[in-house]
Chains A and B, each alone.
Chain A
Amino acid sequence: MKRIVSFGILASTVLAFASPVLAQTIFVSTQLRPIEEATVVREELLQDVGDVDYVVEEPPQFAVRMEAERQAGKHTVSLVGALHGELSPLADKNALEPLDDLAKKLAAGGMPQAVLDLGKLGKPNQQYIPWMQATYVMAARKEALQYLPAGTDVNALSYDQLIEWGKKLQEATGQPQIGFPAGPKGLMARYFQGYFYPSFTGGVVRTFQGAEAAAGWEKLKALWAFVTPNSTNYDFMQEPLAAGEVMVAWDHIARLKNAISASPDDYVVFPAPSGPKGRGYMPVVAGLAIPKGSPDKAGATKVIEHLTTPDVQLLTASRVGFFPTLNVKLPEDLDPGVALLAGAVTATQTSKDALISLLPVGLGDKGGEFNKVYMDAFQRIILRNEPVGDVLKAQAATLTKLMADTKAPCWAPDAKSDGPCPVQ
């Protein structure tokens, strides 16, 4: 027994010391997490900026970790990369270093001031540096186009046309062919906040339970008849698209990219459908920030400067499908799949009924519960077929309390509010 125990201790000591303890810049990111993307970051994007350890973390664990480090006052993370909405709770707790010098340099180097100002998160100082941007689009396999209702422009799709299309696809193939990422790790909540609600009601919080919202939910019910029930298992739509399980899908561009880049000739990519109030869409901004107490501020600054050079920004676009925050033109010989996605993003932004919807701000660590309001409404109305009015009333009560707790004012497309954003 002694021998085994001592062997165990020996082995673990050796191994514990075998992992090198070097002065590395630890870069924790909630973006570019999937194994293949993270490998691109490590081997291509972060080459020649010194010794950077790129660690990926899911948003909830990221929040737990940052909060725990802040409370304990011991920091290991030098640099963070996360979404606008994930960084804002950190800024609220005053946990980020001001980055005004960097912002000035980048403004001179071609980053639009409007984009840079997002990084202030409503504070006087620059809290983060915008790193990459993305949005959500729809993709379809080309063979689905033949079932598109006559006279429909795929780039100006309406909900009625989408429903008609889904119906024809189902009749032709015997199976529902539309897919949404409504799985546990899918981004379905963003569909409701950035696409569904703005398109049908012109708001997100204020208009949560009105007659327009109810009408929208009824429309979604009609659409859902042609949506594959496996949707609640999908986290990324690129896999079911590539596997031929669905022909039409809505998702984040980075979560469609693998399928489309693998065979760009098989797909069309186009804007999400429009409702009575317009074509809602949600731009996503990921930023780079340095936490207060960062053990390697100099290294972190160097990484930010490197990732925001035009070359690296273009490389990021072509390798992982996130678009530049710098004002640079995407080259012609870009990866054809990324070019398709970029085309759909432009089509969305320039469509005449485009209605921009921002990521929630000011919710602090209640972002998850905010998403839950929309996902619970979805589960109850669409999946469990509960009466729309009752569900919206119940969820509106939860939402009202949530807004009161966080005191978050309205954000676009909701009209500005003085106090917490009211649910009307």
Chain B
Amino acid sequence: MSSTKPAGFISSRRWLLWSGIAALCAWVLVPIYLVALGALGGRQGVYQWPKTGLPIGISIDPFVLFLKTEGVVQSFLNSLAAAGITVALSILLGAPAGYALARYNFLGKDSYRLLVLLTRAFPLAILALPLTVSFIRLGLYDTVVGVGLIHTVLALPFAALVTQGIFLGVPKELEEAAWVFGCTRIQAFFKVVAPLALPGIVATAVFAFVISWNEVFAASVLTVRNRTLTAYLLTVLSESPMHYRFAGGLMLILPSVVFIFAVRRYLFAIWGISSK
């Protein structure tokens, strides 16, 4: 900002800036607030007309009633478990690949990138059908592990690409210096590279978690009893009264708000590095 401009102009520009920021924050937050009202308003709240948008007539009861419905808590736990498996697998399989992409030039690197790109370009839900039959044969059908495996297909390419960026951000010179000082490659990796890459990997892990947490279709096709929360909600919600639907929506949103809060600091770092 140039200091030659009059002070009034600057303050009006600041005012414009902050009202723009406030408007954009409201754009994100108000819809969430409204769905929360719907979730806490119960059956009567849904039919109320016209709505005031004020928190009148709400109570935690409808939401608690929703939580008490058979299957909600169990599916919540299943979602956590599937997401845990997804996180573990996608980091274990994806981080080495990311490291290879960052540090080595090798034949087939581009084909590998293409493979990763392909997974994003294909609607995964359709693959669930051929997978159902093989999963039953393998005993993975209707298990949390099976869901975790499918979600890893979604999260792994992401993990590989993002960890590539993270490892690119760790100066190669540091690693080479460690070799000079007599570390083996593996030692050098764990002593020098891993600590520097850790924050980024944590963020990647949370992303993998969110991917699994939000996935609906594969999860609903591949499970009967051990449903994840989204799959459970998809089956029951489409035919349930509105306030149940809003309660379900709120329950899906709340954890992601917390997750994003937990990694807000690393979010920009990982994309910053990965677009290098």
* A residues adjacent to B (C-beta < 8 A): 1, 4-5, 8-9, 11-12, 15-16, 18-19, 26, 28, 33-36, 38-39, 42-43, 53, 55-58, 61, 64-65, 68-69, 71-72, 74, 76-77, 185, 235-236, 239, 242-244, 258
Number of interface residues of B (CB under 8 A): 50
Contact assessment for B81 and A26 in the assembled complex, using a CB-CB cutoff below 8 Å: no
Closest to B220 in A: A61
Tell which of A9, A39, A72, A239 touches B241, judged by Cβ atoms closer than 8 Å: A239
- CB contact under 8 A between A9 and B136, given known A1-B194, A1-B198: no
Residues of B within 8 A of A61 (CB): 220-221, 235
In the bound complex, what is the Cα–Cα distance between A12 and B148 (angstroms)? 10
Stretch at the interface among B9-17, B31-39, B82-90: B82-90
B 63-83 binary contact with A (CB < 8 Å = 1; else 0):
000000110001001101110
Residues of B within 8 A of A1 (CB): 91, 95, 194, 197-198, 201-202
Is B244 among interface residues, defined by CB-CB distance under 8 A?
Answer: yes
Is B142 among interface residues, defined by CB-CB distance under 8 A?
Answer: yes
In the bound complex, what is the Cα–Cα distance between A40 and B158 (angstroms)? 43
Contact assessment for B224 and A19 in the assembled complex, using a CB-CB cutoff below 8 Å: no
Please give 10 more A-B residue pairs, beta carbons under 8 A apart, in addition to A8-B88, A64-B132.
A1-B201, A9-B84, A9-B88, A19-B226, A34-B236, A35-B240, A36-B240, A36-B241, A68-B136, A243-B47
B 89-124 binary contact with A (CB < 8 Å = 1; else 0):
001100100000000000000000000000000000
Is B239 among interface residues, defined by CB-CB distance under 8 A?
Answer: yes
**Residue from the set A5, A26, A64, A244 with the largest chain B CB neighbour count within 10 Å:** A5
CB distance from A52 to the nearest CB of B (A): 12
Tell which of B70, B88, B145 touches A39, judged by Cβ atoms closer than 8 Å: B70
Tell which of B85, B139, B202, B224 touches A57, judged by Cβ atoms closer than 8 Å: B224
Tell which of B87, B95, B198, B224 touches A8, judged by Cβ atoms closer than 8 Å: B87
Closest to A33 in B: B239
Is B129 among interface residues, defined by CB-CB distance under 8 A?
Answer: yes
Residues of B within 8 A of A42 (CB): 70
Is B238 among interface residues, defined by CB-CB distance under 8 A?
Answer: yes
Contact assessment for B235 and A33 in the assembled complex, using a CB-CB cutoff below 8 Å: yes
- 22 example contacts (A-B, Cβ-Cβ < 8 A) are as follows A8-B88, A11-B84, A12-B88, A15-B77, A15-B80, A15-B144, A16-B144, A19-B74, A33-B236, A34-B236, A34-B239, A35-B236, A35-B237, A36-B241, A57-B224, A64-B129, A72-B136, A185-B239, A236-B239, A239-B242, A244-B47, A244-B49
CB distance from B206 to the nearest CB of A (A): 10
- CB contact under 8 A between A12 and B92, given known A26-B225, A35-B240, A236-B239: no
Residues of B within 8 A of A72 (CB): 133, 136-137, 141
CB distance from A61 to the nearest CB of B (A): 7
Is B205 among interface residues, defined by CB-CB distance under 8 A?
Answer: yes
Is B263 among interface residues, defined by CB-CB distance under 8 A?
Answer: no
In the bound complex, what is the Cα–Cα distance between A49 and B108 (angstroms)? 60
In the bound complex, what is the Cα–Cα distance between A116 and B242 (angstroms)? 38
Is B252 among interface residues, defined by CB-CB distance under 8 A?
Answer: no
Tell which of B74, B202, B237 touches A4, judged by Cβ atoms closer than 8 Å: B202
Is B46 among interface residues, defined by CB-CB distance under 8 A?
Answer: yes
In the bound complex, what is the Cα–Cα distance between A72 and B130 (angstroms)? 12
Contact assessment for A15 and B225 in the assembled complex, using a CB-CB cutoff below 8 Å: no
In the bound complex, what is the Cα–Cα distance between A191 and B77 (angstroms)? 41
A-B CB proximity, top 6 nearest: A12-B84, A72-B136, A15-B81, A8-B88, A35-B240, A34-B239
The A-contacting residues of B in range 233-257, CB under 8 angstroms, are: 235-242, 244
Residues of A within 8 A of B81 (CB): 11-12, 15-16
Closest to A9 in B: B88
